């Protein structure tokens, strides 16, 4: 019997969704939560979005983007299940430019530049990449399936206008695999049953 290697579900987006979660102690409440998207293909088009909630933003959600249509689509279709605070479409979008330096082996820094803010996200002490896969319906509250290559970070930093966020990332299990509360997530694809 031959297995079909093709996922039959329509592709909704493909790109990246790296994240940083910083806390003061292991298992503690996140003091900073950042979700960075670099999208190659989606119904909202390609582009970049940074969703951010931190003590540096007075625990308010800030959204930086170079594609408003992509941002609102991500909020409605993806972030509403992942982290509902990021799905509030009443939060204004701050126009920004995005750039990256580094690599997946030593460090990676994302720079987000808006008229008033300079945001920097850095992942370092990078571990061994691994693949996660959730079949459609495997994510609580979402009909989607997702495939992603995660590279866990042993350390991460986020700063706004040169001020670093408090806390650090910690080891965290995904299934039975040890990962981190901060990961590069490159090569990510979301599908949804038609």
Share of the chain above pLDDT 70, in %: 99
Given a cut of 90, whether residue 194 has pLDDT beyond it is no
43: exposed, middle or buried (C-beta count within 10 Å: 0-12, 13-18, 19+)?
A: exposed
pTM: 0.96
How many other C-beta atoms can be found within 10 angstroms of the C-beta atom of residue 94? 17
What are 106-131's pLDDT values in tens digits? 999 999 999 999 999 999 999 999 99
Residue identified by tokens 């940083």 is: 20
**Dihedral Cα 109, 60, 146, 149, nearest 10 deg:** 20
Contact 176, 41 (CB under 8 A): no
What are 140-186's pLDDT values in tens digits? 889 999 999 999 999 999 999 999 999 999 999 999 999 999 999 99
Task: Provide φ and ψ at 84, rounded to 5°.
Answer: -55, -30
Q: How confident is the model at residue 1 (pLDDT cuts 50, 70, 90)?
A: low
């Amino acid at each position: 019997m031959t297995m079909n290697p093709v996922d039959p579900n329509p592709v909704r987006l493909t790109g990246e969704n790296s994240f940083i979660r910083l806390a003061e102690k292991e298992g503690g409440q996140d003091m900073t939560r950042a979700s960075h998207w670099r999208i190659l293909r989606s119904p909202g088009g390609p582009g970049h979005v940074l969703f951010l909630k931190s003590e540096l933003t007075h625990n308010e959600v800030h959204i930086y983007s170079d594609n408003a249509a992509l941002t609102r689509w991500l909020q409605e279709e993806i972030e509403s299940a992942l982290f509902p605070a990021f799905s509030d479409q009443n939060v204004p979008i701050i126009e920004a430019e995005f750039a990256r330096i580094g690599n997946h082996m030593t460090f990676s820094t994302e720079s987000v530049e808006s008229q008033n803010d300079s945001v920097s996200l850095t992942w370092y002490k990078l571990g061994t990449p691994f693949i996660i896969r959730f079949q459609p319906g495997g994510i609580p509250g979402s009909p989607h399936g997702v495939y992603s290559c995660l590279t866990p970070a042993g350390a991460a930093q986020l700063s706004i206008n040169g001020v670093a966020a408090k806390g650090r990332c910690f080891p965290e299990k995904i299934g039975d695999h040890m990962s981190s509360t901060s990961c590069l997530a490159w090569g990510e694809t979301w599908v949804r049953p038609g």
